[in-house]
């Protein structure tokens, strides 16, 4: 008989832990209140760290980053873009810190190469002329959505259950032991058993909270006091790739000075400011302006770039020694497995907090090791060896590019996203038109996502990138809705449109100037004027007295033909 | 040597063309210059007057933006009240704020604007027989009120009780016809409606443009050996059932669209209509062609493809425009005139431009009233009362743009169309009507002022 474990949280750490435990033979249920990646994971910078960023101030984290960076290249190749990274020193930036950075990298086993300003500009022509020199490090870009979905899919393949839109509303505590979780089904388009608002108890021999920034809220349900040191960061998205390398400023204070290429975009970010509530903190104009201003010091054309949206994430930091830490940026990026039996006298429950996206796998391994220890199970971790689904044979990618009757740029984007699953997803006898032109997503890929997440448009978006390009869903949100039908009824599909359109609007509000403001007006005219979705009587808009309106000219039913 | 005219219209959209024709009809010698033609490619081709009066909210009362999630259903229920759909555009005039262009020019300007449009478009458009709005099915599966509609759309009106079938094509992604039918039922339309997705465009390569399909139907091209219209009728026929009218996405031909429609109707034994679509909108493109023909017929000389980049005044007359500078492939040519009409469009047509600090009118630098903080340009509901959607020049009753002091910026400048602020055109369904009414007044005022 295997032990049952509930993992709370559908981010990288949660899906990674679910996968690890499932591979070790546990009976795992993962519960997530929204979509996979809906918390911090889906709102990161997507920076695959070399550790260079922490090589001076936080060497333990730096060493972990470099080790995990190497492992992720082996197991998650289809989620990674090997862009390489540069720490750039601009005129006036400290020489002393530049040397400290080099030494720190050496201490942590991070390979470096110093290049001249001229070489740096040859590699990245849009870098400022003020660049003196740069340190090359093995940074990269990682797609957190693909990563999480692959972890969750593999967990399921190893027998786990993954319940999204299932919010933990209480922990079941009996005699000082957590024996399960009570969940409530969320959202109108929940896929699976149950209906919105329904509750259920899932019993478990052990519960792992991998809820990151939300860890205090979960802990409190067992009367455990867990204080997190969470902080927010803004990221601004440009519409084209001005650079192809991760660019960091080589300065001690890392606040909004990293530029990361991702797919067709570049992400500017991120500041580091403490917040109290991970669900309710201000998104402020100065943050957006600061990201653009800091990025343009390194890459001046970003000041002129078209920004398509901004988003915020909240770091799941934990400070073991808050009295000695001065500012949010100084809190360690290290991770901690908190055993609430030892720490708080509550058995059967631990929280994994802190850490980085780059170190998610190691965090999952530690959390799983801990579960094994507590339950007395002898099983080794294999997640550092076994590739994730999609990444088992990356070499097939190139061969598949032209195979699916798709024009080649679309085929390339699709196969990059799908990895070695491309053949399964894209082989279809049906017409396979492009649904999202900005991100080159075809019907087959959308349908595959709908099979995975149901009518949840944000789940579809995260899996496929549909609606994440220039038009921000203006030209495709209604198409995605049409794809949801008839697998789901018209009401559900219509609701999905509103849900997606409103979600896309949320991020665009921060970048409403220049061409993106023109785009917003065009979207508004298409959806409000042409489709009249704002006043739709089918979803609560004003009702209509059809008889009172013009029914057409009475003679109209016999048409004449003379060239209109 | 400057190119001269009495009235020079800057902008080639619905408002520019209408104002040029209105001025020419007053006897003025008119010239029109524009960078791009219309933005009708993006528009449905329907001529809306006023469909709703949505309630206005105070943007300054908006909450701080937070990360807090809001369920889209809550957003929907918190949206302000809409008055409408208005049975007639003129029913809503009294409820519009004083800053609305309709309040400034009055209902007669809209009536005359419609009358001019009716003359220009002749039998191509319908709706002039009544003041009442018509309800047109949209490709989003709902209905919208409009004042004038292409003849191609007429058989689809929602106040007609005949049973309807809607046809979609599997290889087109903009809508699923079955979902549109279900959605129309949810909107309680007074007729039976069914939807069917058929295979037709599959014979073309993936992602074939709508304009390409229209051409194939125009010329009844052979598709795998079968004429296009025969193939389409055969694909649709099994799905007609009891329907007396059948709707298609608007791609039924371009130059010969009436013939395509009639041909299909005859083969299927029903009335055939088109559902207005988003970009590229064939109904919009067909209207654009008609408008340029009318411009030509009215004797207006026009040049397209050249942006206006600047303007000139005489030293002693800073409030009188002497000429605008037009860039002809990098060479700057002055176009001088006695009177000027600014009809460059809104944010979509690039008649309004903005950066992180400010919204500007780029040709003459006309005053655009706006909140100083760009976070006051919008509200949190995507379909809310956005200040940005109402940005534009503030005109007087002759459509002269006013400066911050409330006096006209230039004594010989008039504005028309989406560059004029104050209307919430998207939510009101008033875009074309505002263009026609303001263009009529601007064109006439300009012609009347010719010395």
* B46 CB-near residues (< 8 Å, 6+ apart): B136, B144, B146, B148, B149, B150, B153, B276, B283, B432
Q: How many whole angstroms separate alpha carbon B361 and alpha carbon B354?
A: 9
DSSP string, A341-379: HHHHS-BTEEEEEE--GGGHHHHHHHHHHHHHHHHT---
Q: How many whole angstroms separate alpha carbon A310 and alpha carbon A265?
A: 12
In degrees to the nearest 10, what's the CA dihedral of A422, A427, A432, A435? -20
Residues of chain B with Cβ-Cβ distance to A284 below 8 Å are 65
CB A426 within 8 A of CB A189: no
Contact B64 A513 (CB under 8 A): no
Q: How many whole angstroms separate alpha carbon A437 and alpha carbon A450?
A: 18
Determine the distance in angstroms separating the CA of B365 from the nearest CA of chain A, rounded to an integer.
16
Question: Can you give the pLDDT at residue A522?
Answer: 95
Banded pLDDT at A260 (limits 50, 70, 90) = very high
Q: How many whole angstroms separate alpha carbon B262 and alpha carbon B271?
A: 8
Which domain-ending residue is among B275, B299, B316? Answer: B275
Q: pLDDT > 90: what percent of chain A?
A: 76
Determine the distance in angstroms separating the CA of B181 from the nearest CA of chain A, rounded to an integer.
9
Residues of chain B with Cβ-Cβ distance to A475 below 8 Å are 278-279
Q: What is the CATH number of the domain that holds B108?
A: 3.50.50.60
B17 and B96 in a single domain? The answer is yes
Residues of chain A with Cβ-Cβ distance to B155 below 8 Å are 552, 556-557
Q: What is the pLDDT of residues B384-412, one digit of tens each?
A: 999 999 999 999 999 999 999 999 999 99
Determine the distance in angstroms separating the CA of A193 from the nearest CA of chain B, rounded to an integer.
21
CB A297 within 8 A of CB A90: yes
Peptide bond into A27 cis (omega under 30): no
Which domain-ending residue is among A285, A315, A345? Answer: A315
Nearest to B207 among A433, A546, A559 (CB): A433
Q: What is the pLDDT of residues A346-392, one digit of tens each?
A: 999 999 999 999 999 999 999 999 999 999 999 999 999 999 988 77
Q: How many whole angstroms separate alpha carbon B5 and alpha carbon A384?
A: 77
Q: How many whole angstroms separate alpha carbon B14 and alpha carbon B430?
A: 13
Question: Can you give the pLDDT at residue A396?
Answer: 53
CB A401 within 8 A of CB A373: no
A355 and A480 in a single domain? The answer is no
Q: How many whole angstroms separate alpha carbon B36 and alpha carbon B302?
A: 12
Q: pLDDT > 70: what percent of chain B?
A: 98
Bridging pattern class, strands B226-227 and B222-223: antiparallel
Determine the distance in angstroms separating the CA of B379 from the nearest CA of chain A, rounded to an integer.
8
DSSP string, B250-289: S-S-STTHHHHHHHHHHHHTSEEEEE--SSS-HHHHHHHH
Contact B206 A433 (CB under 8 A): yes
Determine the distance in angstroms separating the CA of B417 from the nearest CA of chain A, rounded to an integer.
15
Q: Is residue B71 part of a domain?
A: yes
Contact B173 A312 (CB under 8 A): no
Q: Does B297 touch chain A (CB under 8 A)?
A: no
Determine the distance in angstroms separating the CA of B266 from the nearest CA of chain A, rounded to an integer.
11
Tokens of B241: 């059932």
B30 pairs with which residues across the strands? B7
Q: Does B280 touch chain A (CB under 8 A)?
A: no
- Among positive and negative, which fits the CA dihedral A119, A122, A128, A130? positive
B245 and B321 in a single domain? The answer is no
Residues of chain A with Cβ-Cβ distance to B431 below 8 Å are 525, 529
Average pLDDT over residues A239-254: 90
B327 and B430 in a single domain? The answer is yes
Residues of chain A with Cβ-Cβ distance to B178 below 8 Å are 485-486
Q: What would you report as the CA-atom Rg of chain A, rounded to the nearest whole angstrom?
A: 25
Which of B440, B432, B450 has its CA nearest to residue B127? B432
Question: Can you give the pLDDT at residue A401?
Answer: 46
The answer to whether residue A564 scores a pLDDT higher than 70 is: no
Q: What would you report as the CA-atom Rg of chain B, rounded to the nearest whole angstrom?
A: 23
Other C-beta atoms within 10 Å of B215: how many? 17
B291 and B435 in a single domain? The answer is yes
Q: Which of the 8 DSSP states describes residue A388?
A: P
Contact A530 B257 (CB under 8 A): no
Mean predicted lDDT score pLDDT of chain B: 93
A to B CB pairs, distance under 8 Å: 306
Contact A529 B48 (CB under 8 A): yes
Helix (H, G, I), strand (E, B) or coil at A424: helix
Contact B160 A551 (CB under 8 A): yes
Question: Can you give the pLDDT at residue B59?
Answer: 58
Determine the distance in angstroms separating the CA of A145 from the nearest CA of chain B, rounded to an integer.
20
A130 and A151 in a single domain? The answer is no
Q: What is the pLDDT of residues A458-482, one digit of tens each?
A: 999 988 999 998 899 999 999 999 9
Question: Can you give the pLDDT at residue A563?
Answer: 43
Q: How many whole angstroms separate alpha carbon B414 and alpha carbon B400?
A: 4
B window 156-175, beta carbon within 8 A of A: 157-160, 170-175
Average pLDDT over residues B18-34: 97
- Best of B65, B140, B190, B269 to disrupt the A interface (most A CBs within 10 Å) is B140
B window 65-84, beta carbon within 8 A of A: 65-70, 72-73, 75-77, 79, 81-84
Contact B255 A546 (CB under 8 A): no
Nearest to B187 among A489, A537, A553 (CB): A537
Q: What is the CATH number of the domain that holds A113?
A: 3.30.9.10
* B445 CB-near residues (< 8 Å, 6+ apart): B398, B399, B400, B414
Nearest to B348 among A284, A518, A543 (CB): A518
Q: What is the pLDDT of residues B133-179, one digit of tens each?
A: 999 999 999 999 999 999 999 999 999 999 999 999 988 999 999 99
Q: What is the pLDDT of residues A185-203, one digit of tens each?
A: 987 665 666 788 899 999 9
Q: Does B48 touch chain A (CB under 8 A)?
A: yes
Helix (H, G, I), strand (E, B) or coil at A197: coil
Out of A106-115, A391-400, A450-459, B35-44, the most confident range is A106-115
CB A66 within 8 A of CB A48: no
Banded pLDDT at B1 (limits 50, 70, 90) = low
For residue B293, give its domain range.
3-118+285-448
Q: Which residue of B has its CA nearest to A546?
A: B159
Tokens of B295: 């411009």
Q: Is residue B317 part of a domain?
A: yes
Q: What is the CATH number of the domain that holds B216?
A: 3.40.50.1860
For residue A248, give its domain range.
82-140+231-315
Average pLDDT over residues B341-352: 96
Question: Can you give the pLDDT at residue B422?
Answer: 97
- Best of A528, A558, A561, A563 to disrupt the B interface (most B CBs within 10 Å) is A528
Which of B137, B148, B233, B204 has its CA nearest to residue B177? B137
A207 pairs with which residues across the strands? A6, A349
B window 401-420, beta carbon within 8 A of A: none
Contact A529 B429 (CB under 8 A): yes
The answer to whether residue B194 scores a pLDDT higher than 90 is: yes
Q: How many whole angstroms separate alpha carbon A350 and alpha carbon A357?
A: 20
Which of B350, B363, B38 has its CA nearest to residue A515? B350
A210 and A238 in a single domain? The answer is no
Q: Which of the 8 DSSP states describes residue A252?
A: S
* A392 CB-near residues (< 8 Å, 6+ apart): A420
Average pLDDT over residues B36-59: 87
Residue with tokens 């429950």: A349
Residues of chain A with Cβ-Cβ distance to B158 below 8 Å are 544, 546, 549
What total of structural domains would you count in chain B? Answer: 2
Which of A495, A418, A434 has its CA nearest to residue A466? A434
A525 and A438 in a single domain? The answer is yes
B325 and B439 in a single domain? The answer is yes
DSSP string, A482-548: HHHTTTS-HHHHHHHHHHHHHHHHHHHGGG-SHHHHHHHHHHHIIIIIIS-GGG-GGGTSPP--GGG
Average pLDDT over residues A242-267: 90
Q: Is residue A203 part of a domain?
A: yes
Q: How many whole angstroms separate alpha carbon A16 and alpha carbon A360?
A: 7
B430 and B298 in a single domain? The answer is yes
Contact B42 A522 (CB under 8 A): yes
Residues of chain A with Cβ-Cβ distance to B374 below 8 Å are 285, 512-513
Average pLDDT over residues A309-320: 93
Residues of chain A with Cβ-Cβ distance to B54 below 8 Å are 534-535
Q: How many whole angstroms separate alpha carbon B72 and alpha carbon B49?
A: 29
**Phi-psi sector, B84: left (phi>0), alpha (psi -120 to 50), beta:** left
Which of B330, B368, B329 has its CA nearest to residue B347? B368
Q: Which residue of B has its CA nearest to A498?
A: B72
Average pLDDT over residues A30-35: 93
- If residue A151 lies in a helix (H) or strand (E), which one and from where to where? helix A144-157
B82 and B172 in a single domain? The answer is no
Residue with tokens 């990221």: A235
DSSP string, B56-88: P--GGGPPPPBS----HHHHHHHSPPEE---SS
Higher pLDDT, A546 or A263: A546
Q: Can you state the percent helix, strand and coil of chain A, rounding each to 5?
A: 40, 20, 40
Q: Which residue of A has its CA nearest to B381?
A: A502
- Backbone phi, psi, residue A214, to 5°: -95, 10
What total of structural domains would you count in chain A? Answer: 3
Question: Can you give the pLDDT at residue B206?
Answer: 67
B326 pairs with which residues across the strands? B308, B333
Q: Which residue of B has its CA nearest to A519?
A: B348
Bridging pattern class, strands B301-304 and B30-34: parallel
Peptide bond into B280 cis (omega under 30): yes
Average pLDDT over residues B96-105: 97
B112 and B184 in a single domain? The answer is no
B323 and B227 in a single domain? The answer is no
- Backbone phi, psi, residue A244, to 5°: -120, 5
Contact B276 A485 (CB under 8 A): no
Q: Is residue A401 part of a domain?
A: no
CB A408 within 8 A of CB A384: no
Q: What is the CATH number of the domain that holds A14?
A: 3.50.50.60
Q: Is residue B280 part of a domain?
A: no
Residue with tokens 């004038």: B148
Which runs of consecutive H residues, i.e. helices, occur in A299-437? Answer: 340-344, 360-375, 396-400, 408-418, 422-426
Q: Is residue A49 part of a domain?
A: no
Contact A551 B157 (CB under 8 A): yes
The ipTM of this complex is: 0.97
Tokens of A72: 């992720």
Q: Is residue B376 part of a domain?
A: yes
B295 and B175 in a single domain? The answer is no
Q: Is residue A271 part of a domain?
A: yes
Nearest to A524 among B129, B155, B389 (CB): B389
CB B302 within 8 A of CB B323: no
Peptide bond into B85 cis (omega under 30): yes
Q: How many whole angstroms separate alpha carbon B229 and alpha carbon B222?
A: 9
A150 and A113 in a single domain? The answer is no
Q: What is the largest CA-CA distance in chain A?
A: 87
Q: What is the pLDDT of residues B253-304, one digit of tens each?
A: 999 999 999 999 999 999 999 999 998 899 999 999 999 999 999 999 999 9
The answer to whether residue A559 scores a pLDDT higher than 50 is: no
Cα angle A18, A22, A24 (rounded to 5 degrees) comes to 125
């Amino acid at each position: 008989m295997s032990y049952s474990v509930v993992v709370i949280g559908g981010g990288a750490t949660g899906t990674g832990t679910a996968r690890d435990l499932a591979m070790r033979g546990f009976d795992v249920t993962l519960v997530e209140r929204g979509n996979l990646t809906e918390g911090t994971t889906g709102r990161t910078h997507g920076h695959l760290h070399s550790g260079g960023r922490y090589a001076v101030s936080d060497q333990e984290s730096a060493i972990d980053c470099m080790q995990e960076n190497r492992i992720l290249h082996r197991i998650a190749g289809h989620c990674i873009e090997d862009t390489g990274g540069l720490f750039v020193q601009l005129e006036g930036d400290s020489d002393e810190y530049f040397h400290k950075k080099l030494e720190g990298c050496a201490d942590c086993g991070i390979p470096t190469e110093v290049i001249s300003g001229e070489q740096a500009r040859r590699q990245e022509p849009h870098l400022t002329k003020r660049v003196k020199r740069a340190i090359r490090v093995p940074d990269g870009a990682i797609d957190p959505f693909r990563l999480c979905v692959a972890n969750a899919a593999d967990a399921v393949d190893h027998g786990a259950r993954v319940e999204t839109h299932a919010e933990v509303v209480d922990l079941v505590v009996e005699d000082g032991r957590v024996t399960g979780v009570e969940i409530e089904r969320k959202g109108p388009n929940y896929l699976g058993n149950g209906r919105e608002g329904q509750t259920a108890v899932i019993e478990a021999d052990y519960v792992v909270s991998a809820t990151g920034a939300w860890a205090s809220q979960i802990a409190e349900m067992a009367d455990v006091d867990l204080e997190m040191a969470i902080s927010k960061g803004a990221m601004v998205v440009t519409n084209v790739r001005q650079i192809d390398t991760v660019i960091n400023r080589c300065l001690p204070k890392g606040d909004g000075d990293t530029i990361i290429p991702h797919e067709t975009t570049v992400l500017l970010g991120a500041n580091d400011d403490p917040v109290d509530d991970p669900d309710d903190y201000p998104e402020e104009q100065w943050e957006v302006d600061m990201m653009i201003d800091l990025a343009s010091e390194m890459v001046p054309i970003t000041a002129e770039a078209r920004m398509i949206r901004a988003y915020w994430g909240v770091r799941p930091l934990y400070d073991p020694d808050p009295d000695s830490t001065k500012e949010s940026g100084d809190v360690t990026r290290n991770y901690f497995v908190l055993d609430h039996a030892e720490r708080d006298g509550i058995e059967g429950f631990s929280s994994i907090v802190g850490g980085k996206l780059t170190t998610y796998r190691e965090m999952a391994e530690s959390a799983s090791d801990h579960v094994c220890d507590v339950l007395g199970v002898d099983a080794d971790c294999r997640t550092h060896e076994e590739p994730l689904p999609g990444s088992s044979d990356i070499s097939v990618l190139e061969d598949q590019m032209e195979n699916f009757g798709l024009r080649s740029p679309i085929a390339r984007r699709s196969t990059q996203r799908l990895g070695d699953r491309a053949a399964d997803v894209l082989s279809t006898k049906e017409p396979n038109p492009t649904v999202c032109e900005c991100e080159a997503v075809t019907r087959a890929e959308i349908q595959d996502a709908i099979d995975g997440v149901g009518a949840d448009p944000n789940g579809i978006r995260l899996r496929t990138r549909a609606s994440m390009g220039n038009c921000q869903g203006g030209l495709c949100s209604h198409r995605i809705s049409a794809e949801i039908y008839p697998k789901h009824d018209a009401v559900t599909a219509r609701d999905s449109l509103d849900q997606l359109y409103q979600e896309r609007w949320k991020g665009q509000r921060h970048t409403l100037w220049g061409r993106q403001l023109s785009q917003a007006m065009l979207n508004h005219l298409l959806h409000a004027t042409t489709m009249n979705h704002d006043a739709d009587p089918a979803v609560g808009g004003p009702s209509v007295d059809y008889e009172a309106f013009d029914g057409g000219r009475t003679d109209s039913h016999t048409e004449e033909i003379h060239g209109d | 040597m400057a190119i001269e005219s009495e009235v020079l219209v800057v902008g080639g959209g619905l408002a520019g063309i209408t104002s040029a024709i209105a001025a020419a009809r007053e006897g003025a010698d008119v010239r029109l210059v524009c960078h791009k033609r219309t933005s009708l490619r993006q528009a449905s081709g329907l001529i809306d007057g006023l469909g709703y009066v949505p309630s206005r909210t105070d943007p300054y009362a908006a909450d701080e933006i937070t990360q807090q999630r809001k369920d889209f259903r809550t957003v929907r229920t918190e949206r302000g009240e809409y008055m409408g759909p208005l049975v007639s555009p003129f029913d809503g005039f009294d409820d519009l704020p004083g800053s609305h262009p309709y309040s400034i020019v009055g209902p007669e300007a809209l009536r005359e604007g419609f009358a001019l449009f009716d003359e220009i478009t002749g039998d191509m458009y319908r709706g002039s027989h009544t003041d009442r709005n018509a309800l047109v099915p949209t490709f989003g599966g709902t209905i919208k009120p409009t004042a004038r509609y292409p003849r191609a759309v007429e058989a689809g009106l929602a106040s007609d009780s005949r049973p309807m079938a809607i046809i979609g094509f599997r290889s087109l992604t903009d809508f699923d016809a079955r979902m549109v039918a279900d959605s129309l039922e949810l909107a309680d339309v007074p007729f039976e409606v069914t939807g069917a997705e058929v295979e037709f465009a599959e014979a073309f390569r993936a992602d074939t443009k709508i304009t390409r399909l229209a051409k194939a139907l125009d010329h009844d091209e052979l598709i795998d050996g079968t004429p296009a219209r025969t193939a389409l009728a055969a694909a649709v026929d099994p799905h007609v059932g009891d329907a007396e009218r059948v709707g298609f996405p608007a791609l039924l031909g371009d130059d010969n669209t009436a013939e395509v429609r009639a041909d299909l109707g005859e083969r299927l034994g029903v009335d055939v209509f088109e559902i207005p679509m988003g970009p590229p909108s064939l109904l919009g493109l067909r209207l654009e062609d008609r408008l340029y023909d009318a411009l030509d017929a009215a004797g207006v000389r026009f040049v397209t493809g050249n942006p206006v980049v600047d303007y000139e005044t005489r030293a002693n007359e800073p409030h009188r425009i002497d000429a605008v500078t037009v860039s002809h492939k990098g060479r700057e040519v002055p176009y001088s005139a006695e009177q000027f009409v600014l009809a460059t469009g809104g944010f979509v047509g690039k008649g309004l431009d903005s950066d992180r600090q400010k919204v500007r009118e780029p040709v003459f630098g006309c005053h655009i009233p706006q909140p100083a903080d760009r976070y006051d340009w919008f509200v949190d509901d995507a379909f809310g009362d956005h200040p940005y959607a109402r940005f534009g020049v503030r005109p007087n009753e002759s459509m002269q743009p006013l400066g911050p002091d409330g006096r006209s910026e230039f004594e010989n400048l008039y504005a028309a169309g989406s560059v004029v602020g104050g209307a919430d055109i998207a939510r009101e369904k008033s875009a074309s009507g505002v263009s026609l009414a303001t263009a009529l007044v601007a064109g006439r005022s300009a012609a009347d002022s010719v010395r």
